[in-house]
Amino acid sequence: MLKIPDHIRGLIFDCDGTIADTMPMHYRAWSAAFAEHNHTFPESMFYGFAGMPTIRIIQTLNEKHGYTLPVQATASRKEQLFEEMIHEVLPIKPIVALVYKYEGKMPMAVASGGTYKLVSKTLAALNLLDKFQAVVTADDVKHGKPAPDIFLEAARRLNVPATDCAAFEDGEMGLQSARAAGMYVVDVRPITGNP
């Protein structure tokens, strides 16, 4: 089990790919939504966007890769397809073990680039929603990951200075975000086996 440094007074976790093994489900939802518009989303490209809000991913693909996806319609469809799979979600056991270990001993939050609707449903499907004192999502901040806003807001809601928080992340943008917030950062990819 991971050792948390002594100065840490709050724990902040990303959701998708950190607490919940949802990345394959998200990829299936993206692929299906894109196929409806005769576009593809290469898996290697998908993982590079980990942590970025759905709408921003679509905007970026349209701007930088010449896609012609209707932004809001594609985002809504992708979220709908993912929601239909939520019953399949599995926990990432080493990280969930940490959540249980520190429950009631240290304030904990989730800081996700997803929407509150899907993040809360994912956590509820894993019986974890009530373990966190705060759930901060892309709905709550102006600037998503890699900006530090989402982690800073999570620390604020826990009433713990950001420098006294440990952030657990699996995506490069999320790792940048947590570092920019001044947190102790744990890259969970070697622990979870995620790309």
Q: For the stretch 40-58, what's the b/e string if a residue is b when 16 or more beta carbons lie within 10 angstroms of its beta carbon?
A: ebeeeebbebbbbbbbbbb
Q: Left, alpha or beta for 127 (phi > 0: left; psi -120 to 50: alpha)?
A: left
Active site residues: 14
pLDDT tens digits, residue range 54-88? 888 999 999 998 899 999 999 999 999 999 999 99
- Is 92's pLDDT higher than 70? yes
| pLDDT for residue 192 | 62
CA-closest candidate to residue 144, choices 30, 29, 14, 6:
14
Mind listing the domains of the chain with CATH numbers?
10-22+89-192 (3.40.50.1000), 23-87 (1.10.150)
What does the pLDDT average to over 32-58?
Answer: 88
pLDDT of residue 194: 59
Least confident of 15-29, 47-61, 175-189: 47-61
pLDDT per position as a tens digit, 135-148: 999 999 999 889 99
Q: What is the pLDDT of residue 50?
A: 79
Report the mean per-residue pLDDT for the chain.
92
Q: What are the tens digits of pLDDT across the range 122-134?
A: 999 999 999 999 9
User: Among 161, 165, 194, which Cα is nearest to 178's?
Assistant: 165
Q: Among residues 8, 20, 41, which one has the least CA distance to residue 121?
A: 20
pLDDT band at 52 (very low <50, low <70, confident <90, very high): confident
Rounded Cα distance between 81 and 61, Å, is: 19
Find the range with the poorest average confidence among 21-25, 116-120, 183-187. 21-25
What amino acid is encoded at 7 in this protein? Answer: H
pLDDT of residue 195: 55
Is residue 145 within 8 Å of 180, Cβ to Cβ?
no
